[in-house]
Amino acid sequence: MLSGIWQGDAFYGFYVFAGSIVASFSVIRCKKRTDLIKGGMYISAVNVISAIVVSLHDSYLMQHIMQPIIFAATSGISVAAFVSIILPVLEYTFKVNTDITLLELLDLNQPLMKSLMINAPGTYHHSVIVGNLVETAAEDVGVNPLLARVTAYYHDIGKIKMADYFIENQSNAVNKHEKLTPHMSSLILISHVKEGLELADEYNLPEPVKDIITQHHGRSIMMFFYQKAKEEQSEPPKEEDYRYPGPRPQSKVAALVMIADAIEAASRVLKDPTPSRVVGLVDKIVNNILIDGQLSECDLTLRDINIIKERYSYILNGIFHKRIEYPGFNFNKPQPSEVDRDKSNGKESASKDKDKHPVVQAHNEPGHESFDIRKG
């Protein structure tokens, strides 16, 4: 409207005002670059209508009606094209990330995401579940759900380089931490934070993602290795040597990821995950994190924490849902293996072989922290 006053033409102000309002509302939920083009088309349509209305009050424009219509039609599309070009520059300059950029990071063809999926499949699936957890609670605690999901997907990318040293990627293999000292094991686990930050810099990930990589463990202690060191060493180990470097979560997003990360890891040890046990697990994890002071530097309220508990419990119960038995199938019945088939030749059975080489159990073996200190 001010432009109309400046030009001394109220109708010109109306034309500019109408186009500006449509431009503002058309990109509120902009999540794809094609949404910018759609917004440009809406602007063009409104500009054409406005141009016709203005022309009705101007005899000169009425005589040359096609000129303002063509100008109005092309203005919206040209603005959308210009914004598409300049947007990445503005994001980089002002350190602001739009939903468009965040959605691009969720693309499974993104090199870093593909590397995580191939080289550390256990970590990848863990990160996906963490992403599902944080997204359900994000909006209710005042956080961008898309940002929360993206940071959750990338929080453990540092495990790519030494994936075999993390329990979720070991499958049935021998646990490599059995041959290491507790202190060496703790150094390896701590290193995934530094490695993750280096990868984030290499692939130019946004600052919020880097923040969550460094903060999602806070200053928590790797209790498994700390207790093991106390049992094996004559002198008490330094607790500081078994704590993550931090910092503690500085934002609600970081707190959401920390809690979800710990809960997802701990849920793997539930023998019979009934709804009540899942709720109890979530309560215990959150309470331990609070008692350890890990959330003392972020702005989560008690209301937020209760919402997080409720949402996370709901999602976990969905993950551990029961299924009816399929008639004619007994999936719990042991299946014949090559070892069993060779039993007549004097070879050991699969069960005996398993006793000699036990499968690594989550949280009960090195390489995976307990409730308090989690795997990453």
Q: Report all structural domains of the chain as residue ranges with CATH numbers, in order of start.
A: 1-94 (no CATH), 100-320 (1.10.3210.10)
Task: Please state the pTM of the whole predicted model.
Answer: 0.78
- pLDDT tens sequence across 2-59: 444 445 566 677 778 888 888 888 877 777 778 888 888 998 999 899 888 878 777 7
pLDDT at 67: 83
What would the mean pLDDT of 182-203 be, rounded to a whole number? 96
Distances, alpha carbon 267 to alpha carbons 227, 270, 278, 284, 369, in Å: 21, 6, 8, 11, 12
Q: Tell whether the model's pLDDT for residue 125 goes beyond 80.
A: yes
Measure the CA angle with vertex 291, ends 186 and 128; round to 5°: 60
Q: Which of 64-68, 235-239, 285-289 comes out lowest in average pLDDT? A: 64-68
Largest separation between any pair of C-alpha atoms in the chain: 104
Q: Tell whether the model's pLDDT for residue 310 goes beyond 50.
A: yes
Q: Which residue has the higher pLDDT, 360 or 369?
A: 369
Beta bridge partners of residue 243, listed in sequence order: 221
Q: Rounded distance, CA 327 to CA 269, Å?
A: 29
User: Residue 257 is encoded by which pair of tokens?
Assistant: 């990821």
pLDDT at 8: 52
Residue ranges in the chain assigned as alpha helix (H): 2-7, 10-26, 33-55, 59-63, 66-94, 99-105, 111-119, 121-138, 145-154, 182-202, 207-215, 223-232, 252-267, 275-291, 302-319, 338-341, 350-356
pLDDT at 239: 93
CB neighbours of 324 closer than 8 A, spacing ≥ 6? none
pLDDT at 88: 86
Residue ranges in 178-301 assigned as alpha helix (H): 182-202, 207-215, 223-232, 252-267, 275-291
User: What integer best gives the mean pLDDT of the chain?
Assistant: 84
What would the mean pLDDT of 305-328 be, rounded to a whole number? 88
Question: What is the percent of the chain where pLDDT is above 90?
Answer: 53
Q: Tell whether the model's pLDDT for residue 367 goes beyond 50.
A: no
CB atoms under 10 Å from CB of 297, counted, come to: 17
pLDDT at 180: 92
pLDDT at 130: 98
Q: Rounded distance, CA 291 to CA 99, Å?
A: 35
